[in-house]
Amino acid sequence: MLYQQIAQNKRKTIFLILAFFFLLTAIGAAAGYLLVESYQFGIVLALILGSIYAFSMIFQSANVVMGMNKAREITVDQAPDFFHIVEDMAMVAQIPMPKVYIIDDPSLNAFATGSSPENAAVAATSGLLQVMNREELEGVIGHEISHIRNYDISISTIAVALASAITLIASMGSRMMWYGGG
């Protein structure tokens, strides 16, 4: 059952990328027609910009998400209990050790990100680390590690990245129309 879920998540990721490029092509065609009366120009420009953006987001997503949350990567010396919990959960799940981050925030939150287990990251807020005991924290981190193992992070990370690319292209088109007098 687990392997079927992983395979299904990988198929969903591929479908999501194909749907993204279809939508991006349509937006590019519309923007190209409105701005320079050329569908082809809009499609080519949208696909080039979308491909560059999607490629960079897919392979740098963990760094981008952690940067947006002002997370700092930690080592075993900085937070040994938290680091070892992540290490233990990764070992049990039989995935590579994800990068470990702490976000200085009093709220209670934890999440995993990345496009695959090989480039995944796990973060927890300082509030969560202060409130929870080891057993509770193991449960939370085990849940986040399961997202990595099942490739759930791949779907959500790519969805966010691709939606951002579409927003970027649409925003560029609307600004060009506004400032171009269209």
What would the pLDDT profile of 72-126 be if each residue is shown by its tens digit?
999 999 999 999 999 999 999 999 999 999 999 999 999 998 888 888 999 999 9
Q: Which residue has the higher pLDDT, 166 or 131?
A: 131
Confidence (pLDDT) at 156 = 76
Token pair of 128, please? 């969560």
pLDDT computed for residue 167 by the predictor: 78
pLDDT of residue 114: 85
The Cα–Cα gap between 152 and 129 comes to 24
- String of DSSP letters for 37-53: S-HHHHHHHHHHHHHHH
Q: Report pLDDT for 157.
A: 74
Give the list of residues 6+ apart from residue 72 with CB closer than 8 angstroms, or none: 101, 102, 103, 104
Q: Residue 164: is its pLDDT beyond 60?
A: yes
Is 180 a residue whose pLDDT tops 70? no
| Cα angle: 53, vertex 8, 109; to 5 degrees | 65
Q: Residue-wise over 109-128: b if at least 16 C-beta within 10 A, else e?
A: ebbbbbbbbebbbbbbbeeb
Report the distance separating Cα 39 and Cα 34, nearest Å.
9
Nearest to 146 by CA among 2, 13, 7: 2
In this prediction, residue 182 carries a pLDDT of: 54
Torsion angle, alpha carbons of 37, 39, 42, 43, to 10: 180
Q: Which residue has the tokens 């009366």?
A: 37
Report residue 106 as tokens: 């009093």
Q: Do residues 62 and 113 touch, judged by C-beta distance below 8 A?
A: yes
Q: Which residues are tagged catalytic?
A: 144
Q: How far is CA 46 from CA 30, 42, 113, in A?
A: 10, 6, 26
